[in-house]
Amino acid sequence: MARVLPKPGRRAGHVPVAFAGPIMDAFLAICQGLGLALAAGLAIGVVVPPIMPGWGAAVGAAPLGVLACLAALSGADEPAWPAVPVGALAGALAALVVRDVVAGAARRQGEDPSELSAGQPGTLTAIVIVAAVLVALLSLLLPPVSLIVLGALAWLATARRRRAGRKYEGLRVLR
């Protein structure tokens, strides 16, 4: 009977975990990059002035999302190409959603969103920055958490868009 030698780096009799492997490593690295890109988008979305159009916040957050995702992927020795779509889309989505939420909160407080400055400290700004730091830390420690954050931001974006569509529903003029 032929004796089977263990693979290099494994001890004899060691049974590998079912999900361990290069595909799972790449998935976890992409999740880390996604979380860091979302955190960058959250931070950019709260500091841009509310008078800036939505596409401006998205264009400003996309490169930072790509850089954050690229840092996570290069740190894990994974290919860099997923950083471009994942980082750009995640950063832009987070910036758009947060910018919309912050502008809405300013309107509800009775402040004119066009008079708010980018450097104005406020409670909501501090809360969003703390949330961005928490998202970044959690995505580094538990990478799949970033998928939950992405789902929550997507749900918030669709819910706000749906509510905005119903806002003026009863004000139609009948002829």
How would you write the pLDDT of the chain (175 residues) with one tens digit per residue? 556 555 565 555 555 554 456 788 889 899 999 999 999 999 999 988 877 888 899 999 999 999 999 998 888 788 888 889 999 999 999 999 999 888 888 777 766 555 555 445 578 888 999 999 999 999 999 999 999 999 999 999 998 888 876 666 666 665 5
pLDDT for 147 equals 95
Contact of 40 with 66, CB cutoff 8 Å: no
User: In 10 A of CB 45, how many CB atoms?
Assistant: 28
Closest CA to 41 of 159, 157, 144, 143: 157
Structure tokens at 43: 């931070």
